[in-house]
């Protein structure tokens, strides 16, 4: 049974298609949050181009896969992270990422959705949405 969390469904779809070595994934339903998360993944080099398709209902997103995702998933519940938490990421890195230098946490901040590395540069905190490596 699918979960009621569209972001979790989208990240699971990406991971499942990567494991099956597909060239593209279709994410249904589409949302602004999912599109912003995909922009972060694209900027970090985990996925290729993606396209929103308006089908008259909830919409679809087709994503070109590059074979660079080893694991990705949502972080639930969505933990709030302050800037100080980001400086000492040990708890989250140990729990979600294989190493300090490998992978990213996806964070929703007041300046938009970004990776934890960008949030450190901006010196802001936010809410942890997911991880990818």
DSSP codes joined into one string, 5-74: -HHHHHHHHHHHHHHTT-SEEEESS--HHHHHHHHHHHHTTSEEEEEEE--SSS-EEEEEE-S--S-EEE
Q: Which of 12, 8, 61 is nearest to 39 (CA)?
A: 61
pLDDT of residue 93: 75
Calpha distance 113→20 (Å, rounded): 28
Residues 6+ apart with CB under 8 A from 67: 18, 21
Helix, strand, or coil (residue 131): strand
pLDDT in tens, 28-53: 999 999 999 999 999 999 999 999 99
Please state which CATH class domain 72-132 belongs to.
Answer: alpha beta
pLDDT of residue 88: 81
Q: What is the DSSP secondary structure assignment for residue 110, as one 8-state letter? A: T
- Domain range list for the chain: 6-65, 72-132
CATH number, domain 6-65: 3.30.1370.30
The residues of the chain scoring below 70 in pLDDT are 1-2, 90
Cβ atoms < 10 Å from Cβ of 103: 21
pLDDT of residue 94: 78
Residues 6+ apart with CB under 8 A from 64: 23, 24, 47, 48, 49, 50
């Amino acid at each position: 049974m699918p979960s009621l969390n569209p972001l979790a469904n989208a990240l699971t779809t990406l991971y499942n298609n990567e494991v099956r070595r597909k060239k593209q994934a279709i994410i249904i339903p589409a949302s602004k949050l999912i599109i912003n998360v995909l922009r972060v993944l694209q900027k970090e080099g985990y996925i290729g181009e993606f396209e929103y398709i308006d089908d008259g209902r909830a919409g679809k997103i087709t994503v070109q896969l590059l074979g660079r995702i080893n694991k990705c998933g949502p972080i639930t519940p969505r933990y709030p992270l302050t800037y100080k938490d980001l400086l000492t990421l040990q708890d989250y890195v140990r729990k979600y990422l294989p190493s300090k230098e490998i992978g990213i946490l996806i964070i929703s901040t007041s300046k938009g959705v970004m990776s934890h590395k960008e949030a450190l540069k901006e010196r802001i905190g936010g809410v942890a949405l997911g991880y990818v490596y």
